[in-house]
Structure 1
Amino acid sequence: MKKFALYTAGAVLMLAAAACDRDLDLAHAYDNSSSSKPYEFDKDFNFDDYIDFGSFVVSDRVVCEQQPDIPRYSFWLDGKISVGKYDDSGRFTLYWSADNSLRQTSDSPWLEENVNALSAEMEVFGKDLEPVDGFYDGGAWFIGVHKLPDGRLAGFFHAESHWTGSNSAYKSIGVTYSRDNGLTWEKGSRILAGTDPKPENPAGQGVSYGLGDGCVVWNEALGAWICYYSGYCNDPGNYMITMARSTDPAGAAGTWKKWDGEDFTIEGCKRQSQLGGENFKIANLDAYAGGNPSVMWNHYLNKWVMVFHSWSQRICLSTSSDGIVWEAPKSLDLGEEKAMYPNLISEEGDLTGGQAVRLYYAADMNDLGQRSLAWRKVVFY
């Protein structure tokens, strides 16, 4: 275990960094160049209690107890969780995502303090929609909720179309908007799609078509929305993390371009055909094929941080100074045989964080898909 002069075990430690007091409500409000506020360590903080990964440490896991009467008991986590302050109340709104999205308000951003208060009445987007065949007749759920400069909320969502009697899915990504702070949402439009239309019948059980399983962030330095998603890349031929960009202030349909390996030039979704162009891998991230990224701007590192799960069900972590060029990810050996659906959440929400953040994830998934909601503290140094 490395020892660092910056820390003294058994004492409350403070990092000498300028405090940052910002309004995090607007997607366009956070600044990628901001400095970190100090992080106060627990009195009993000791590096020897953490797993060291070279530039960050990870604590032991905490499993969150779930009550059997909550929606999707034993199936959290199942996708991206959006957590933010979207109005002037000072309270957090959490959007829990599965086959639809539940909207919950709370004084706390922490999932373990909120999961047992979930109820079916909280559904605001997804299966209550009028089904659009081939788009979201199989469900729709948020992968990023942001407040726009005009006061609306933008909800970027993963959409699925299914076949009767099959658990296969045809996937794509859409956007919808709300004018009443997330209580009701518009129908939604597709913004990113695969290269081929939905086949008449799937090739088998559990087959995925199209693209999805992503997240969307606003990159202030680039003046653009970036969607990181899992799409089939011909080289080396697997579903990998790739990306698309929109410079439209609202991230509207028809404004998205996919990554071509060097720039964003490939059509995201053509209006007539509702199909998109080819997907190209992000260099370095192709060390692990996977999906369900969670991306956060870290103002302690002055970098973007991404976590995603590999198809071998390991959590991977990477960082980037600009959100485009990513470092080779580290696969986290956390002792779990199966770890999926990672989410980065801080005391500020899911968009920004400092030296210490929480990594929530689905742990110990069995053959029926049942899982535990677990979390670990991640401390960067």
Structure 2
Amino acid sequence: MKTHALYVAGAALMIALSSCDRDLDLAHAYNNGSSSKPYEFDADFNPDDYTDFGTFVVGDRNICWQDPHIPRYMLWLDGKISVGKYDDSGLFTTYWSADNSLRQVSASPWLDENVNALTSDMEVFGKCIEPVSGFYDGGAWFIGVHKLMDGRLAGFFHAESHWPGVSAAYKSIGVTYSSDNGLTWETGRRILSGTDPKPENPAGQGESYGLGDGCVVWNDARKVWICYYSGYCDDPGNYMITMACSEDPAGAAGTWKKWDGKAFTVEGCNGQTQLGGANIKIANLDTYAGGNPSVMWNHYIGKWVMVYHSWSRRICLSTSADGIAWEAPISLNLGEEEAMYPNLISEEGDQTGGQAVRMYYAADMNDLGQRSLAWRKVVFY
């Protein structure tokens, strides 16, 4: 375990050249030249409360109490959470993701401070809001909400189509747009899909088809949207994280290309067939196959940080200098038998962060899918 003095000495090397612009617009988001002030450790800092992973430490877990009256009690977290600035007033908009998306405006970006204020009338997109048969009749939830240069919001979402009486899902990824700061959304369009159409009948309970369980970020250095998602790679059963990109400023349908192992050349979703090309895994991330990534630009270390859960329900962390080539992930032994759906959140939101961020996740999941909302502090050095 590194000592408090070592952290302070390392932090002293970082000079705050300029404050990070926290607006989620294409001109300023993820500026690789940004930096942040060194993290100030709490007065009661104790190195024994952190687990050292070599280039970062992870703090002890905090379990968040949840009111039984909130929507989907005992099922948070259940996907990617988007947190961004509401306007210039200092408020934040949080989009909670389950089988639909709830929109919440509050003074805090922290999930533990907001979860118990959720109500069912906050739903703005998803299962009960203009579902599209065969596309998102089984649910739709945001995996990235971003402000565009024209003032609209782009909401990238995970989509599911189901079968009556069967707990199986045909998955794909879509995009929708809002012109009133997220209060209402257009009918979504598919941007990424699997190679095979939805079968008439699923093979059995719990079967999963297609692709999804991802997140979407704007990579400013490359001037592209990148979607990191899970899909069948190489052969059935090999469900791993891969990626696709769009150079279109709005990430519109018909502009997405999947990763081919060296570049983005594979068709994401054909406009006529609504099917996409093959999924090729991201090198190194196959060390631990998994899904539901959360990706954030960290302006303290000057790298992208990804957390995701493995299929053995462990959280893994990887970093990348360019968002394309990723380091072999580290599996975080956090003590819980079940840890899934990790989300990186900072005081700036879910897209950028500094030396210290919070990692929220679903802990202690049982056979019924019930879980606890937990978080830990992650500090880079």
TM range (shorter): over 0.9
Worse overlay, 28-37 or 107-116: 28-37
Conservation of the 8 A alpha-carbon contact between 1:26 and 1:149: no
Conservation of the 8 A alpha-carbon contact between 1:230 and 1:241: yes
**Aligned residue number for residue 331 of structure 1:** 331
How many angstroms apart in 1 are the aligned matches of 2:43 and 2:7?
A: 12
**Aligned residue number for residue 118 of structure 2:** 118
User: Percent same amino acid among aligned pairs?
Assistant: 79
**Aligned residue number for residue 254 of structure 1:** 254
**Aligned residue number for residue 352 of structure 1:** 352
**Aligned residue number for residue 224 of structure 2:** 224
The SS at the match of 2:48 is helix
**Aligned residue number for residue 66 of structure 1:** 66
Please list the CA deviations of residues 48-77 of structure 1 after superposition, one character each: whole Å capped at 9, or x if unmatched: 220111111111100000000000001000
Q: Which runs of no fewer than 5 residues in structure 1 stay unpaired?
A: none
Conservation of the 8 A alpha-carbon contact between 1:106 and 1:114: yes
Conservation of the 8 A alpha-carbon contact between 2:217 and 2:226: yes
How many angstroms apart in 1 are the aligned matches of 2:90 and 2:318?
A: 31
- TM-score, normalization by structure 2: 0.96
How many angstroms apart in 2 are the aligned matches of 1:163 and 1:208?
A: 12
How many angstroms apart in 1 are the aligned matches of 2:321 and 2:176?
A: 29
Superposed, which structure 2 residues align to 1:279-298 within 5 Å? 279-298=279-298
1:364 offset after TM fit, Å? 0.3
1:234 offset after TM fit, Å? 1.3
When residues 113 and 122 of structure 1 are mapped into structure 2, their CA distance, relative to the original with a 3 A threshold, is same
Give the number of equivalent residue pairs.
378
How many angstroms apart in 1 are the aligned matches of 2:135 and 2:237?
A: 25
1:3 offset after TM fit, Å? 4.0
How many angstroms apart in 1 are the aligned matches of 2:347 and 2:251?
A: 26
The SS at the match of 1:184 is coil
The SS at the match of 1:160 is strand
Worse overlay, 235-244 or 364-373: 235-244
How many angstroms apart in 2 are the aligned matches of 1:15 and 1:61?
A: 29
How many angstroms apart in 2 are the aligned matches of 1:242 and 1:41?
A: 36
**Aligned residue number for residue 234 of structure 1:** 234
When residues 353 and 8 of structure 1 are mapped into structure 2, their CA distance, relative to the original with a 3 A threshold, is closer
**Aligned residue number for residue 375 of structure 2:** 375
Worse overlay, 121-130 or 228-237: 228-237
Instruction: Supply the AA of the counterpart residue of 1:284.
Output: N
2:180 is aligned with 1:163: no
How many angstroms apart in 2 are the aligned matches of 1:8 and 1:346?
A: 20
1:15 offset after TM fit, Å? 6.0
Superposed, which structure 2 residues align to 1:184-333 within 5 Å? 184-234=184-234, 237-333=237-333
How many angstroms apart in 1 are the aligned matches of 2:86 and 2:3?
A: 41
Instruction: Supply the AA of the counterpart residue of 1:297.
Output: W
How many angstroms apart in 2 are the aligned matches of 1:308 and 1:287?
A: 12
The SS at the match of 2:166 is coil
2:31 is aligned with 1:23: no
Please list the CA deviations of residues 333-378 of structure 1 after superposition, one character each: whole Å capped at 9, or x if unmatched: 0000000000000000000000000000000000000000000000
Conservation of the 8 A alpha-carbon contact between 1:86 and 1:147: no
How many angstroms apart in 2 are the aligned matches of 1:79 and 1:169?
A: 15
Conservation of the 8 A alpha-carbon contact between 1:14 and 1:39: no
How many angstroms apart in 2 are the aligned matches of 1:90 and 1:149?
A: 20
1:38 offset after TM fit, Å? 2.2
How many angstroms apart in 2 are the aligned matches of 1:238 and 1:7?
A: 40
Worse overlay, 153-162 or 83-92: 83-92
When residues 71 and 4 of structure 1 are mapped into structure 2, their CA distance, relative to the original with a 3 A threshold, is closer
How many angstroms apart in 2 are the aligned matches of 1:82 and 1:130?
A: 21
Worse overlay, 144-153 or 119-128: 119-128
Please list the CA deviations of residues 65-91 of structure 1 after superposition, one character each: whole Å capped at 9, or x if unmatched: 000000000100000000010423320
How many angstroms apart in 1 are the aligned matches of 2:34 and 2:97?
A: 30
When residues 84 and 125 of structure 1 are mapped into structure 2, their CA distance, relative to the original with a 3 A threshold, is same
- TM-score, normalization by structure 1: 0.96
**Aligned residue number for residue 96 of structure 2:** 96
Conservation of the 8 A alpha-carbon contact between 1:156 and 1:173: yes
Conservation of the 8 A alpha-carbon contact between 2:20 and 2:35: no
Conservation of the 8 A alpha-carbon contact between 1:27 and 1:218: no
When residues 236 and 193 of structure 1 are mapped into structure 2, their CA distance, relative to the original with a 3 A threshold, is closer
